[in-house]
Structure 1
């Protein structure tokens, strides 16, 4: 894909209904950076279904701005997350609208995202589709620190996503931002790759861990 660096391209990304268009400004081993005319989008390569060149007239993109994240010798997914800590950002996760807030902690295979709407959101790294850092003095919904303070997590975090989920056994949780009522309920157990969730009518539903994108506690 290096032949398309600094060229207008069209990306088909998992979970996105329309292609992402812009200028391919950087390419790492597991992530790419696209300038869409307004902001820089960081897209993990694992979700790239197709990348093709498109006419410059279709991209509608001018010169890219200075990157909001600190430069590194080679861009990578984990480095991007580390550099985005504490910076107002927007996330896209498959099947859900975007979420605004701050990356606060990064573990082995998930990170914690502090959001005014969801508070502490635990996000599986393999399900993040796009990260858009805003930079500057922007804050979510123009909220000041007194309205939406960002603090490190007071509780001890597990190293992996499945271990973090297991910490919530016996508690009421919401999976995947509540996109489906069958993913809201009391977490009864985590056993291997299956979780048992007791939903609103009192029945149990079973979900494979690979399909859990996010966790939060209302």
Structure 2
């Protein structure tokens, strides 16, 4: 008996970062769970699953959803399929307890997502660090903005297939790691070698970080990109 026996039951899920999600388990795949929390569908990569159990709270009960989830398309689901089906849609993506990004999935590569945020513009997101993804309703736009408010233009250069190779294209450019611009996680990207990233911070100091610990990288580009 596996997780499938919890389908259509209210559950409590703990994921990496001690993040707790509760709701009705509506679907499972080999590497992803789909939860309905009473308002939204939450797509949770199983790689971050720490614990799942049946949950019953006397003062809280989630009703079964009255609308269908939009990213599964009534087919066997997987993490990659969900991301691909989410291209061009307004979503929120949680990377840690303190990092939640709102914007559009532009492209899905081998191990990273090209993401566009109206606030931060271009962001590369490491797929291994996505804790959950929630699509917004189809007609909702970011922050109530219109397309005229944040005109979208194409990215000039082709994308590399891997997170590491794409980052190498930005050597010499200003970058921010994990949305922490006020720390040693922001500066000029100097070099990437053997899974180690070197940046020069605002004080001119060299700082080295392990690539696999980078959740996301925002880029100081002049132009937004095309969906």
Name the TM tier (shorter chain): over 0.9
Q: Which runs of 5+ in 2 are unaligned?
A: 221-227
CA offsets 1:144-179 (integer angstroms, 9 cap, x no match): 010124455332111100001111111110011116
- 1:48 corresponds in structure 2 to 49
CA RMSD of aligned residues (A): 1.6
> Does the alignment pair 1:83 with 2:81?
no
CA distance, structure 2, for counterparts of residue 5 and residue 15 of structure 1: 24
Alignment of structure 1 residues 130-145 onto 2, 5 Å = 130-145=132-147
Aligned length: 217
Deviations 1:17-56 (A, max 9, x none): 4x11000000001110000000000000001111111115
Deviation of residue 15 (structure 1)?
Answer: 2.2
Q: Distance in 2 between matches of 1:108 and 1:142?
A: 32
- In terms of fraction of residues, the more helix-rich structure is 1
| Residue aligning to 1:186 | 188
Q: Deviations over 1:163-199 (max 9, x none)?
A: 0111111111001111660100111110111011111
The question of whether the paired residues in 2 share the 8 Å contact of 1:68 and 1:135 is answered with no
In structure 1, list runs of 5 or more residues that go unmatched.
none
Question: Does structure 2 retain, via aligned residues, the 8 Å contact 1:96–1:177?
Answer: no
TM-score by length of 2: 0.90
Distance (whole Å) between structure 2 residues aligned to residue 14 and residue 217 of structure 1: 26
Normalising by structure 1, report the TM-score. 0.94
- Give distance in 1, aligned partners of 2:72 and 2:55: 29
